Amino acid sequence: MKIIKLIAFYLLGIVAILCVSVFPQYFSTRGMPDTSGYFGQLIQFFGEMANPNLWLYPVQGSKGEFPILEVLWEPFVYSMKILLGALGLGFFIAFCFAMAATFLPNRVLAPVKRILDFLESVPDLIFASLLQLLVILVLKTTGIHLFRVASYTEPVYLAPILTLAILPMVSMFKILLLMIEEEFLKVYVTFLKSKGIRRFGILMRHILKNIMPISFHHMKIIIWGTLSSQFIIERVFNVHGLTFYLLESFTPMTIAFTLILIFTPFYFFFQLMELWLKDESAVPLEIKSQRWGRWNLLQWKKDVKNGFAFSLKSIKIRKPSLFRPFTYFFQLLFSHMKNWKFALGLLFFVIAIGYSLIYSVTTDNHVDQVRLYYNEDGSKLLGTPPLAPTEPFFFGSDRLGFSLFDQLVIGAKYTLFFALLIALLRVFGGLLFGVLYAFHLRPRSQEWFGRMTDSIHFLPLSLIAYILLAPILMPTMQGFAYSFTERVLLEIFILTILVIPLTTVLLGKEIKQVLEYEFIISAKVLGGSKFHVFWRHVLPHLGPRLTILFGQQFIQVLLIFIHLGVFQFFFGGTILSFGMQADPPRSMTNEWSGLIGQIGQNAIAGGRYWFLWILVAFMLAIFAMQFIIQGVKEVQQVKVGVLYKLPKKRKIHDKNRETPYSMSNQVTKDRFRRIKHTQ
């Protein structure tokens, strides 16, 4: 039965991939005469997939077509070598560092954790650019060629593996370090220490055995992020892997087989490992007693409908007040503003977005431009675009001579505001559906939904976003297929809906965990409705977790913006000019990822290093959000008593003593003498 379930969920994943593969063709042909709708194209594509003779890879500019598996298999193996090499190297270094860090004192371990937080905030594009820059500088200064940083006639391995290994190394190192620290605080470790077992023996024989199953579950999230990073790393290092062949022939057939090749090995590996690690005794009896074949869709719909209707009837709305939500919000904000990390992070977003709005209103989005840069008297030509810092512009200019600083200021409101909006919609949508997941779905239905959602971890998010946004953001000779407002709304919708299933399961499980607390059971016994339990008890516990999840989603959206920007997919649309002497692609909104696409292309090879200012802006936004997340964590830890502030001691000065001393309730001999002397 388990094997049947495994195959059934795999087939559901394949069907989802086929549905996604048709979207680019549907968006690009929408509105054209003699074209069928989405479902018509989907049915036609299912028919093509059922015929192996139609599994062909068309070559652009040629009438020839080749068997698609023969074309994609070698690039797939090449990409998997890079990915597995990076994962193996990253996990091995993380394991060694975590074992060594366990024996470090706290004064040494604290700065190590800060360095990890810093490395986790640096976008992968910066690591790739700095690695290329290092190799070029060493070659120019010493004549030593360390290794190839781009693939032309021969495959390149070391540079992409080193760059790609940083993310899994840092993430797994932090997870292992946290879990080891938590295990050392448990009772059984104290018992083992009392038996005389040394710290190293406890670590190797007991703690590693306990944390490995949990570490395995974290690996899925890490591999998901690494797959998205590989999509951009292959582009930066000119690797002719799956990404290259996908972009060369962007057809539904190529998209489907590319995603299937990525999805299949990771799906079966993780599902088989979960079956091996799963403890049958931990499965609730309610789930064991049910049979897979008795799942009734009509009964499930009826239960959800009745439960949701009962929850709506149980809502008791108090007398409406216009000021109550604002009062609660400002009270909550003021309590967090006392934490300097939260205040500093929030101040960055307020200043950046506020200054961008003021600049746009006062200057009508004016951007300074210098085509030819002369000296003061105009007798000598000093430079042509792109102009280096600091003259005539402090941050330099792009290839058309536009000031980078002006574009950064104008694009800040689009980049930061819409990234915050998408992150907010992801969290709000996940919370809304998470409530339905926890309160109104049966355990069997929750298992089904969780298994189907779990398949998303094996598909690169940046690649899926590229596939869906390609026909929306890129114009043709006739112009855009959608208006500016439609493009913005569609991009927000796509980047939101791709992650809502994951946030739904995550928050749904968090809600289920809170519902198991004893005070929740007491509230139900006293007659509390589902809405009352959620609003009065569950939601306050989820508040800090929602803020942390919001920050994580914001950082992920920024990284997707960076990845799409490298492929010249800019927020709101890409301006293209056609002709023999066409201008480089430009962003309609001057948002930051558009600047990466305009300036970052071939910048290192041309010696234009000032485009890194754009990546610094992304890093500052990520650092600011991490400050907010850390501030929320510290405020919550103070509330529950994990962290607390000691009251400051009042100090008085004694005229007969040079140094101040602290007030104390204890009467000493010296204090008694001073009191007696004053009398």
Mean pLDDT across the stretch 304-313?
Answer: 52
CA atoms within 13 A on the CB side of 470: 23
Say yes or no to pLDDT of 399 above 80: no
Higher pLDDT, 285 or 651: 651
Looking at residue 579, its pLDDT comes to: 66
Q: What share of the chain is helix, strand, coil (3-state, %, to 5)?
A: 70, 5, 25
Three-class SS state of 66: strand
- Write the DSSP string, 290-309: S-GGG--HHHHHHHHHHHHH
Helix (H) or strand (E) holding 114: helix 106-121
| Arithmetic mean of pLDDT over the chain | 77
Say yes or no to pLDDT of 347 above 80: yes
Looking at residue 354, its pLDDT comes to: 92
**Tens digits of per-residue pLDDT, 317-327?**
455 555 666 67
Higher pLDDT, 644 or 52: 52
Mean pLDDT across the stretch 213-227?
Answer: 78
Looking at residue 442, its pLDDT comes to: 79
Say yes or no to pLDDT of 660 above 70: no
Mean pLDDT across the stretch 385-406?
Answer: 79
User: Which amino acid does the sequence have at 151?
Assistant: S
All structural domains of the chain with their residue ranges: 55-278, 325-367+403-640
Looking at residue 358, its pLDDT comes to: 93
* Two structure tokens written together for 277: 């690690």
Looking at residue 678, its pLDDT comes to: 46
Looking at residue 642, its pLDDT comes to: 46
CA–CA dist 419, 416 (Å, integer): 5
Looking at residue 324, its pLDDT comes to: 61
- Say how many C-beta atoms besides its own lie within 10 A of residue 474's C-beta: 18
CA–CA dist 415, 427 (Å, integer): 18
Say yes or no to pLDDT of 314 above 70: no
Q: Give which of 98, 76, 322, 120 is closest to 221, Cα–Cα.
A: 120
Cα→Cα distances 339→345, 548, 551, 644, Å: 10, 15, 17, 13
Homologous superfamily in CATH for domain 55-278: MetI-like (1.10.3720.10)
Looking at residue 92, its pLDDT comes to: 92
Tell me what percent of the residues of the chain surpass a pLDDT of 90: 6
Looking at residue 421, its pLDDT comes to: 93
Architecture of domain 325-367+403-640: Orthogonal Bundle (1.10)
- What is the DSSP code (8-state) at residue 370? -
CA–CA dist 509, 438 (Å, integer): 7
Mean pLDDT across the stretch 77-91?
Answer: 91
Q: How many residues does the chain have?
A: 679
Three-class SS state of 87: helix
Looking at residue 34, its pLDDT comes to: 65
Say yes or no to pLDDT of 631 above 60: yes
Looking at residue 639, its pLDDT comes to: 63
- Write the DSSP string, 115-180: HHHHHHHS-HHHHHHHHHHHHHHHHHHH------SS-SSS---HHHHHHHTHHHHHHHHHHHHHHH
Which parts of 314-382 fold into alpha helices (H)?
Answer: 324-337, 340-363
Instruction: Quote the radius of gyration of the chain (alpha carbons, Å).
Output: 29
Looking at residue 295, its pLDDT comes to: 41
Report the range of poorest mean pLDDT among 19-28, 40-49, 149-158, 497-506: 149-158
**Tens digits of per-residue pLDDT, 86-120?**
999 999 998 888 888 888 887 888 888 788 877 87
Higher pLDDT, 264 or 389: 264
Looking at residue 664, its pLDDT comes to: 46
**Tens digits of per-residue pLDDT, 131-171?**
877 887 888 788 877 777 766 677 888 888 988 888 888 88
CA–CA dist 274, 295 (Å, integer): 23
Looking at residue 152, its pLDDT comes to: 67
Three-class SS state of 320: coil
- What is the DSSP code (8-state) at residue 536? I
For tokens 């529950």, the residue is 640
Confidence label for 294 from pLDDT (cuts 50, 70 and 90): very low
- Say how many C-beta atoms besides its own lie within 10 A of residue 2's C-beta: 11
Looking at residue 299, its pLDDT comes to: 52
- What is the DSSP code (8-state) at residue 402? B
Mean pLDDT across the stretch 420-440?
Answer: 88
CA–CA dist 369, 21 (Å, integer): 42
If you average pLDDT over each of 12-16, 300-304, 581-585, which comes out highest? 12-16
Which parts of 30-67 fold into alpha helices (H)?
Answer: 38-49
Looking at residue 391, its pLDDT comes to: 78
Looking at residue 53, its pLDDT comes to: 87
Looking at residue 390, its pLDDT comes to: 75
Looking at residue 357, its pLDDT comes to: 92
Give pTM, 2 decimals.
Answer: 0.78
Confidence label for 637 from pLDDT (cuts 50, 70 and 90): low
If you average pLDDT over each of 72-86, 430-444, 458-472, 504-518, which comes out highest? 72-86
Looking at residue 352, its pLDDT comes to: 92
Confidence label for 298 from pLDDT (cuts 50, 70 and 90): low
Report the range of poorest mean pLDDT among 28-32, 108-112, 184-188, 663-667: 663-667
Q: Give which of 635, 588, 643 is closest to 367, Cα–Cα.
A: 588
Looking at residue 207, its pLDDT comes to: 84
Backbone phi and psi for residue 209, each to the nearest 5 degrees, phi listed first = -65, -35
Instruction: Judge if 55-278 and 325-367+403-640 fold alike in CATH terms.
Output: yes
**Tens digits of per-residue pLDDT, 596-630?**
766 555 555 566 666 777 878 888 888 888 888 88
Mean pLDDT across the stretch 584-592?
Answer: 80
Report the range of poorest mean pLDDT among 54-58, 67-71, 272-276, 421-425: 272-276
**Tens digits of per-residue pLDDT, 494-541?**
999 888 888 888 888 888 877 777 777 777 777 777 777 777 777 777
> Do β-strands 574-575 and 586-587 pair in parallel, antiparallel, or remain unpaired?
antiparallel
Higher pLDDT, 217 or 206: 206
Confidence label for 580 from pLDDT (cuts 50, 70 and 90): low
